[in-house]
A and B are shown apart, each in its own frame.
Chain A
Amino acid sequence: MYRLLSSLLLRLSLCGIGAGVAVADPIDFNREVRPILSDNCFQCHGPDAAQRKGDLRLDTEDGARMALLLGKPDESPLIQRIYHRDVEERMPPQDFPKLLTGSQKEILRDWIEQGAQWAKHWAFVAPVKAPLPEIVNESWIRHEMDNFVLKRLKDAGLAPSPEASNAALARRVSLDLTGLPPSSEDLAAFVEDDSPQAYDHLITRLFQSPRYGEHMAWQWLEAARYADTDGYQNDGPREMWRWRDWVIEAYNKNMPFDQFTIEQLAGDLLPNASLEQAIATGFNRNHRYNSESGLILEEFLLENAVDRVDTTSTIWMGLTAGCARCHDHKYDPLSQNEYYQLIAYFNSIPESGRAIKFGNSEPWIKAPTRDQQREWVELERRVGQAEIALEAAEDEIETAMEEWSAPNPTEAPLLAGALTVQETNALSEPKSIGKIPGLICNSRFSIAFHLTPKDVSEGAILSSESPGSERQGILVRLKDGHLRFHIITRWIAGVATLEVAQALSPNETVHVTLTNDGTQRAKGMRIYVNGKPVGTRVLHNTNSNKSTDNQGAVMRFGTSPHVAPYSGQIEDLRFYTKRTLTEFEAGLLAESKGAKATRHRFLEHGATGRLKELAMEQRAAEDALLGFEDGLPTTMVMEEPAEAKPTFVRDRGLYDALGERVNRGTPKVLPAMPEHLPNNRLGLAQWLVSGNHPLVARVTVNRYWQMLFGRGLVNTTEDFGAQASPPSHPKLLDWLAVDFMEHGWDVQHLLRQIVSSATYRQSSSISETHLQHDPDNRLLSRALRRRLRGNVLRDQALFVSGLLVESQGGSSVKPYQPAKLWREASNFSYTVGSEDDLYRRSLYTYWKRTLAPPAMAVLDTADREWCSVRPKKTNTPLQALTLLNETAFYEAARHLGERFLSQEGSLRERIAFVFQALTTRLPTASESEVLVSAYVTYRNAFAGDVTAARASLKVGQSVASKEVDPIELAAATALANVILNLDEVTTRE
């Protein structure tokens, strides 16, 4: 019964026509026939050649012609088979999980009878602006797009809803564009503005508010699977908030979507890429990244690339490309080879395959904020000035040096001062040197010595490795003639190793300086031989930049718990803690008796008066610069080596089942990449937004439409392929897509158009007619009524209560969360922040991927483990519990209660004030009655239990006003708790 009814409804809604005329109407292949063939037939008769049965394919016109006779359905094998009496012969086969409904069969029959018109899948054909439908009564129409909507409504015998009230509209558009309701002042300004441009001005104000970028960023973060942790197993922390802030900024300056695309996908490949453009590429580093010690690198190198391709395909093209990872796509013309051709754009970045356990994995960069960039320039200038001042004093220095009797160099070590220096005479027998105080792997350090090996084939020169299997510490060794410098946090999962490319010779003395900038990554390590930087190879680069100190064990010369002993000598061994020696300094050490070294020694030890001050200033300026650089935020980015890594098709999608080698290339079903574009990520990004890609603009405008109407014009936001739900208003979708491109991918232009339309401005009330004829609002006969999502609900509560702290950007914060929620499931603890951190917008809440912020998770936000472009809509008791009882919501209720009590006027008027702050309207008489009586009831209840009243004021870290009667405030808090939970308040209307 239901099935019958539903297929009828489906048919009617697809045709968009009233009952009684269904059958005779011409069949639209793309909207009516392809979805049936795709869902029921393509799995065995579709693009996947390997799975094709009976050599029949129904996804191409030529293929399908084999199974049908034009105009003769009853003689067509396709029709014969689907109606076959013998269940063994009937299609789809018995064991197939889907059944063709009666009306689906009829559609196929009618289609063949009408001549079986074939068309390419609509989404793969470039959109064009169709002429606007002619409408007789045009008074309703405010914008061209309204024509399309009104035509559909009229065809279905429906009328649009009346326009929403100004107040309702102000709340709606404010929530939609900024994620916050209008303030009382903004609301008054709009309602009192009589000019015809009042609404337009409101939109302009919303676009100009930095809140706009913050709100728009939320959806992009969900699509881009942004989080503050890695998301696998231990789920260690990472630092990507500079990318998050880049997104906010991009929206706030209304960066055109084509630029937004190119910078995020390939900002690193732009000529003279700026720091900001590099930060933007963090988009494709936001995916989960596994750090398990036991993992196999090749497997996760593939997984990383897969995530990038799948996410990029979903967001820009609405293609479920991931389906072609293991085999040709079952529904869409995308072969497995083509999938790996896409992989080839994203798998070359210099990454190890294993994430580090704490911190950012390579490649990453220091990513100062704009303020920090200015400060950085200042600090560098200070160093430069100190050097210039010293150079200017050269004559003075020379004169002073003549009067200075240099002490013995070994007694007055070079580069002393703030450094800890461990010096010894020549060492040739293995021995323990003891713990070097302050020598910490994840802090700055340098080591220098003269080396004279007897045997260069093997041997530990210096080792502070721990004896256990994790081997934490430093190791300097020889291996097959080459010098290697290791920093080990956990063998073999956390190691950085550089090897000098040039081999050493036995019995030859060289001076070696090893430095680490505190990051313990290969890029932060240097080896100088005889004072000069030398070519090195990176053997390992998987170190964790742990927050805990890695001190290793005692330092030994010539021996290690894990490596054979060294045979030879070292001399003049020096350890520098908290300092990364420069090339200049390494040069001084290599020639410690040279003129430069003598001058340097003088400045450190012999200079007096003004010269001493100049020397000290130089050191102070350098230290300040280094200290500053060490504290800068970092962010993961995309990088591209000169030569791309080879890419192979993976049989069944398995990392170790290598198939044919493939080159970069775009799917054949789409327009070819223009010749002038480079065949790399940059070219791919430019191809996407070149203007003749049939999918990108459609998919993008559809996502914005979904944001404003609750569902996309194509309901399957993530899939525009053969399995997509057909667009409810195909011409409108195409019109918007073309218009978007014609206006330079201007997102605010697009949004302004939509929110200005009569369609958007309708009331959201639901009538009997709506329920009967447009229950799902596919025809857009009214505006959207939908529960707000967790982030908006929390932000709204903070905003109206006056608690919201509106500072922008910065590292993520930790608002309230029940105790031990992390500890019970993981090896991390959550420490609730304080003061401002508790009241920032939810956008800035620390997002631990495997244990998401609980109130957000309950209230339908995406989990950030994978690309999510279609929000969930659910209604559960846990949501009610959260909104009623969670600390932030109840604390906000108290502050709202304080606002209520501080108002002038009668009880009724004060209640109206709070009510209006949240709904933008005054309560009706009936509502007012309920609220007044509620307040009296709560006040009486608390009057009878003052202890309870006082207790209820202690929810949250903020302190309740002492000047307010606790009974009144407790009652006002409970009342505000009710108002914050009103359906109207928790709903976008």
Chain B
Amino acid sequence: MALGRKSTFIFLALVLSLLLVNAATAANIKVGIVLPLTGEQAKFGEIEKRSFQMAAEEINAKGGVKGNKLELLFEDDTGKPDVGRSAVEKLISQEKVPVLTGGYSSSVTAAITAVAQQFKVPFLVTTGSADDVTEKKYDYVFRINPPASEYPASVVTFLQDVAKPKTAVILYENSLFGQSSSKSFEEDCKKMGIKVLTKEGYNKGAVDFKPMLTKVKAQNPDLVYMVSYVMDAALLMRQAKELNFNPKVYIGGGAGFTLPEFQKNAGPAAEFVYSATLWVETVPYPGAMEYFKKYRAKYKEDTEYHGAEAYASLYVVADALKRAKSITPKDVRDALVSTDMMTAFGPVKFVSYGKKTQQNKLPTFMVQWQKGSLETVWPKEVAKKKYVFPVPEWNKRK
């Protein structure tokens, strides 16, 4: 009997605590976020998660959304599309989130968009940048990040105005992002009248790029354009230096070339390498520098464009939630459509053009490694330092 009474008591306590938890969270608006928090892409997942949390703290400190606090529900996709898929299904069916954001790798993001569309829950893509993510006519999918094919927009003007190469070689990581970027850059080259001598992919994590580099060195190109993840990027540059391979200019197409780890691993081989980027803290957007400084003060680490995207994403979501007629997926989606605001990542407005729908358009920038630090050099309006061109040959440097 005593046991019976005890178990009844425990049961009641449990019910009571559940009720209390429910009461405490009832007024919160849940935002579902899928990111790679473990696995190979965890570094970026961490930067984005921290930036989302920073944005949430700021928004909630200012009264949240119509007096309700934002509650972020993070799910780990481990960098795998199938895991991302089940994670987002859980967020939608169990947590009943009215809005989703996040999404780092393109392949995982593509899997999530299909689920979001199927269940009709709006999904604001933070990063996943392969072009076709917003080319499926999904009316519940929005993207703040420009598509991969538009990353080199600033590179194109730089090449036309400054470098003027005649021949090019394109090397890319054999992934959805790499293929998508390299293909569109090849088309850009055609438009500019640059002859593409070789376009070659490689598998991520390769040890030795020398055979491939030797081959393209023999073709003597003016421009080497690389779409690579951070450590492949560093190895490519180190081995290009070892081979004394001197095209007029090395340009990285976003991704790995702007990260501090790239410079740490490549060392002197990183010097004067150009890269396209979507965001640097010196961009002329209100809040960009503040975000960068705040992040560094809080986490004692530097952030980069992925973090800025995440930070801005939550502001866009909060803005849509404020304007939505009710907190239901349908109304939030309708509110997102009419988004027109300024964020630390730049102006956000979802437009449809070409094959793309509900896609944000942003200018891109070019940076160059100079004396071990990353300087914005192009376009001229935002440049903080003069670009170094032509670049000295490897064996003539001190």
Q: Do A and B originate from a single complex?
A: no
